[in-house]
Structure 1
């Protein structure tokens, strides 16, 4: 999608793709070898659920986040976004209100509106450097029709790793108002040095009874094309309801390649992940220094997690549509334009740091030439 689908999506030739959130790096060798072994086996019949993959997930969640779960709490799905959609259909009704905190991952809008639920916005607060949750505002937007909150944790596109204290305050509000929470934690492993991920379901004694935690190895190990994710649901009754919803649409089958990749990544991928995040952090610092030196009107928001760089372009003084045209036609780079993340993102662009340094340098130099040509 990133390289072959860029022209179709953006309508321009010779663009350098730095947009969709996958990486330009190969998956860990252990994953490649495990998939090769299955390919060479040559028999690709119907797959049974993989107990070994579930054990790998249990161990990974424990070692990475200190969260002890039972294998029975895992429900496999084809991806996080399909999981969000099916969870919404299972636990809310048409017309119910679902809260998001924009700017936020843009499929959040679609899974709500295309399922005929009411979109309820509680924008994050931005101080010029970082985002925080508007907890007072959250209390104001909740009504009797509000049934659920979608949490992006860590936050995409802003790169915030929410603290345990912030999450506890959010959990208390959700419990008080009987809200279900879908916590999209697909970026949980992509943390900058000094930050830790706290699963939302663990922040109070009882919030797990209302929480659906969506996770996957796909973002961490660049496996999105393999299509696999899972939802952790600790409440047995809620888990059964969700399994029934998946069964009704025949979305409950196993993907053997996803199971194989998950097991290999979680059992052998930690050294690779450590090297990856060191490289991403170095890429961030390179980009931040480059922007400060050559394009000071474009201000990067320092990420605490993810491999995405959220660029504040307000000082350029361009309308979002004009800025988009400038980047595509003059700079010849394809970024994710901020307005797709909500009105609150209109002054921003999202750039993918998960690329070799030479690609990042080429992208920044293209933007620099366009920047200087405009006389910014």
Structure 2
């Protein structure tokens, strides 16, 4: 197995996370980045071996990216992990989940119509809605003592709005780390069903689950309404393959499959993954489970370390309990009440690059999202820098 404590030098490569920090954030180049959601862990050995083997064949021409081996690997993974039966005809390629959101918003709504999101939430949701000239309808999560839950009364009220076409659900939720329970998922889907609205369910973090929790796909939790549920998945977060640009979009409804073919495949010829993403995805879904277990256990330990550190050194910070993802969501308002000042301190005094909570919505002001998918020594350095900047004698 991999040594997850190993520090792999990524500066000087094309890694977005580690390079051009001064240009992107106006900070020193020696700032420590724990922001964008990719891992600082080496890929699983079966993935690397499969890619090396593919390179030994010297021809890289056109290939059938969605052949039987590929679709069996994808559907087999979801059957084993979630007891979720998928059909080949329900799988569609996108170079990423964020592009898929753009495609789906364009497919399923018209300019001026509304789409519900649940802030604080992954900021491309709102960005893609606005870029497509639709209206963001916010159903904010309720936070009580650092723990988040859905506001179902508000959701039902907003689902009844005539201009609302549907919603984008984040499960597991980024950044607050909720793995929505089956009961919560059923309630969301029932509200959508009662109002004849579709749901796009972003489940890209579905495999990154903290110990003691279990992810349930929305379409499996409420199968009678699955035709109005489109699920976005990818091996990229699970196996650290974002640079290979591959995601699998699951569309059950024939009318929506025809729309995807018309709007995405016919218009833009976006239909299949490339040679290397295909190879990596098959290897990941066939032979990557042991590596994933090790990664989830390591991230569990990083969360435990983070929690202990905050209790000892920054006791007024509020760490949201994490059920899924490898992202920590921390309320620092007791130390710095102004979001802009908190950002300045983090970047220029602590010299750490995090995702500012304000990116995820106004109810994220004063929070920071920290990526814990890194060697623990990097996390320790980050936290020591933060404590040194926030606590002064």
TM-score by length of 1: 0.97
Residues of 2 paired with 1:250 and 1:276: CA distance?
A: 36
Residue 98 of structure 1 pairs with residue 115 of structure 2: yes
| Deviation of 1:335 (Å) | 0.5
| Deviation of 1:65 (Å) | 0.9
| Deviation of 1:318 (Å) | 2.7
Residue 122 of structure 1 pairs with residue 136 of structure 2: no
3-state SS of paired residue (1:361): helix
Contact 1:158 1:310 in 2 (8 A): yes
Residues of 1 paired with 2:217 and 2:334: CA distance?
A: 36
Residue 188 of structure 1 pairs with residue 206 of structure 2: yes
Which residue in the other structure is 2:63 paired with? 47
TM-superposition CA deviations, 1:118-143 (whole Å, max 9, x none)? 11001001112311111101122231
| Residue number among 322, 331, 334 corresponding to 1:315 in the alignment | 334
Which residue in the other structure is 1:228 paired with? 246
Give runs of aligned pairs for residues 299-310 of structure 1, distance below 5 A.
Answer: 299-310=318-329
| Residue number among 307, 327, 335 corresponding to 1:288 in the alignment | 307
Instruction: Indicate the larger mover: 261-270 or 44-53.
Output: 44-53
Q: What is the root-mean-square deviation in Å for CA atoms of aligned residues?
A: 1.1
Instruction: Indicate the larger mover: 223-232 or 40-49.
Output: 40-49
Residues of 1 paired with 2:100 and 2:346: CA distance?
A: 34
Which residue in the other structure is 1:74 paired with? 91
3-state SS of paired residue (1:276): helix
3-state SS of paired residue (2:56): helix
Instruction: Indicate the larger mover: 161-170 or 244-253.
Output: 244-253
| Residue number among 34, 48, 52 corresponding to 1:36 in the alignment | 52
Residue 113 of structure 1 pairs with residue 130 of structure 2: yes
| Deviation of 1:299 (Å) | 1.9
Residue 357 of structure 1 pairs with residue 376 of structure 2: yes
Contact 1:47 1:254 in 2 (8 A): no
Residues of 2 paired with 1:315 and 1:3: CA distance?
A: 29
3-state SS of paired residue (1:206): helix
| Deviation of 1:177 (Å) | 0.9
Instruction: Indicate the larger mover: 226-235 or 137-146.
Output: 137-146
Residue 176 of structure 1 pairs with residue 194 of structure 2: yes
| Deviation of 1:40 (Å) | 2.7
Give runs of aligned pairs for residues 152-167 of structure 1, distance below 5 A.
Answer: 152-167=170-185
Contact 1:292 1:299 in 2 (8 A): no
3-state SS of paired residue (1:191): coil
| Deviation of 1:270 (Å) | 0.5
Contact 1:75 1:243 in 2 (8 A): no
| Residue number among 328, 350, 356 corresponding to 1:337 in the alignment | 356
Residues of 2 paired with 1:331 and 1:101: CA distance?
A: 31
Which residue in the other structure is 1:259 paired with? 278
Contact 2:185 2:222 in 1 (8 A): no
Instruction: Indicate the larger mover: 160-169 or 247-256.
Output: 247-256
Residues of 1 paired with 2:25 and 2:322: CA distance?
A: 26
Give runs of aligned pairs for residues 207-246 of structure 1, distance below 5 A.
Answer: 207-246=225-264
TM-score by length of 2: 0.93
* Count of residues in Structure 1 that have an aligned counterpart in Structure 2: 374
Residues of 1 paired with 2:234 and 2:101: CA distance?
A: 13
Which residue in the other structure is 2:37 paired with? 21
Contact 1:297 1:315 in 2 (8 A): yes
Which residue in the other structure is 1:2 paired with? 17
Residues of 2 paired with 1:257 and 1:90: CA distance?
A: 29
3-state SS of paired residue (1:60): helix
